[in-house]
Structure 1
């Protein structure tokens, strides 16, 4: 076997080895006023891969990000007011979250990790949200496919 042939064979073998994609970090801003109105998360809907993380940015004061009860297939999270938190999502499904002081004003968001395997239970939990939070979360759930 010639050196050139062995080198080509080795290069081909290396090219066939699957390299796992690295996890990404996404950002969500907590805002008093955004493109979609008052008291919003931007973006309000994110579709991410298992292993990705989301950093909730305290862009404007007076907000937090925490899981909505019943809207998570995995561990929940709860940030303090004005606290930036990073959440890593490892389990597939829908994760509904809210700003506790402004849920009724519609400050809610949704992260879809992989497939929306818990859409039924997430929809049932969203129906219990107060005021505009329920309306906005219902619209976000419609984006989950």
Structure 2
């Protein structure tokens, strides 16, 4: 007698997991947008997708920016020269910075689904060139 390998619920879960995408952001000393940059600086993802930060050039890390995470997402900070994968499970905007180069404008923005925390993220006071850089990046938010 034939037995199904998976239940219908398991098939739905497996199909959902297979649909997740991986987006890559490089940490660079010099890129198309200038010096000390994340490229791309804006990623549009869906909840459940993974954003992989690649330390292409040495001396960089990834740290969340206070006030620029969706509700329920814990703050994070990596070591220098470390690849990092962030699963964007919650809908909203995720603001990140490179700790030593934040004032130089090394910031990025990830949008997972709808930008439900747009007003809160825009209201965060930025340091140095990060404010001008975020003004450019926020223009991409859908």
Q: Quickly name the TM-score band, shorter chain normalised.
A: 0.7 to 0.9
Q: Partners of 1:22 and 1:77 in 2: how far apart?
A: 25
Q: Partners of 2:56 and 2:44 in 1: how far apart?
A: 21
Aligned to 1:31: 28
- Normalising to structure 2: TM-score of the pair? 0.85
Q: Give 3-state SS (helix, strand or coil) of 1:56's partner.
A: strand
Q: Partners of 1:69 and 1:142 in 2: how far apart?
A: 20
Aligned to 2:5: none
Aligned to 2:64: 67
Aligned to 2:91: 92
1:51 aligns with 2:48: yes
Runs of 4+ in 1 over 3 A off after TM superposition: 17-21
Answer with 97-106 or 67-76: which moved more.
67-76
What residue ranges of structure 1 are gaps of 5+ in the alignment? 1-16
Bigger helix fraction: 1
- Normalising to structure 1: TM-score of the pair? 0.83
1:142 CA drift (Å) = 2.0
1:109 aligns with 2:76: no
Q: Give 3-state SS (helix, strand or coil) of 2:115's partner.
A: coil
RMSD across aligned C-alpha pairs, in angstroms?
Answer: 1.6
What residue ranges of structure 2 are gaps of 5+ in the alignment? 1-10
1:122 CA drift (Å) = 0.1
Aligned to 2:82: 83
Aligned to 1:136: 133
Larger Rg: 1
Q: Partners of 1:137 and 1:78 in 2: how far apart?
A: 19
Q: Give 3-state SS (helix, strand or coil) of 1:143's partner.
A: coil
1:75 CA drift (Å) = 2.5
1:40 aligns with 2:20: no
1:25 CA drift (Å) = 1.0
